[in-house]
Amino acid sequence: MHSTESPPMKAKQAEPELATAATISETELGQQTLLDSADLAVVGPLLKNCPTKTLAAGEVLVHAGRPNEHLYLVLSGRVSVRLASAETTPIAEIGAGESVAELSVIDGQPTSACVVAEEDTRVLGIDEELLWILVQSSHAIAGNLLFTLTRRLRVGNQVIFEGRERYEQYRFHATVDALTGLFNRHWLNSMLPRQMYRAHLCERPFCLLMIDIDYFKQYNDEHGHVAGDRALGAVAQALQTCLRPTDMAARYGGEEFIVLLVDCPEDAAKTVAERVRTTVASTKIAFAQGAELPSVTVSVGVAEMTETETLESFIASADAALYRAKETGRNRVST
């Protein structure tokens, strides 16, 4: 079995019925991993009445979530394993000499995946009763079945691991602004109410900084949007150097940022805001080929949460303080 990245194949929806028994050559049996080292003189006669089926490319052998009565030996051709449905991307391929659908036969549960023929394929079906007769009659078959199930388990673990990695990546991108590396608005909408509740419950001071880059539209117009992106990144880096590990910064939207100052009264928050303002003003903004862009300045509004504060009023207070800072000349801090 090996992983594949081939595109999903449109599968035919009629599940095939197994044909009546057909002659299986000793050569075909000798190529089967399940029968490796088994005495074919003993097990061969047991398999002579097993039904076979020839599948056309795209034909479904096993549907996910349905009962299944047969373990299938792939005599020729190739099948793929697909989660959920026959239209999904294959997670594995199984070629001639391998088996498929072992678990559902052993535990009697509906199948957990879909099996589709990738090309014209011939399979032999072994039902549950015969499978256990084969296992009991041959230690080699029992060992081969155990080895096959172990490989299936490892593949399943790999699929789970890769799925977990993708989940973590999606979660990261859902909460982090790609341009600045700060948290995004989605994260802020979730985190801010929780921090407000915690501060109220613990009777601890909690402040917001609302930060806006001064004359950012003019900066974009004069230097271009690439330069504007560099300026946003520089401000984000400056913010991170000014904050404590417990403080949290997010890009609120456009050229605006919000900083959550946990366990921080207004006087201390004003000190942080002033440090942010001076740090940003002195931050150099690198551009292409070692060139530097003009520095930017920020205006900062500071608001401390009151006992009766709501989410909307808290943000509005910080926004009003920011407006005063901009109205009184910009590049300054206001409460």
List residues with catalytic annotation.
255
CB atoms within 10 A of CB 68: 22
Closest by CA to 331, choosing from 285, 295, 303, 305, is: 295
Burial 96-123 (b: 16+ CB within 10 A, else e): bbbbbbbbbbeeeeebebbbbbbeebbb
Q: How far apart are CA 253 and CA 177, in angstroms?
A: 10
Give the Å distances, CA to CA, from 158 to 59, 92, 94, 167, 283.
Answer: 27, 11, 17, 14, 45
Give the tokens for residue 61: 């052998």
Query: Is residue 70 helix, strand or coil?
Result: strand
| Residue 12 DSSP one-character state | B
Residue 174's contacts (CB-CB under 8 Å, 6 or more residues apart) are 186
- For 206-231, b/e burial (b = at least 16 CB within 10 A) is bbbbbbbbbebeebbeebeeebbebb
Q: Count Cβ atoms within 10 A of the Cβ of residue 142 and give its class: 0-12 exposed, 13-18 middle, 19 or more buried.
A: middle
| Both structure tokens of 14 | 């009629």
Structure tokens at 4: 């594949």
Separation of alpha carbons 247 and 161, rounded Å: 32
Beta bridge partners of 127: 70
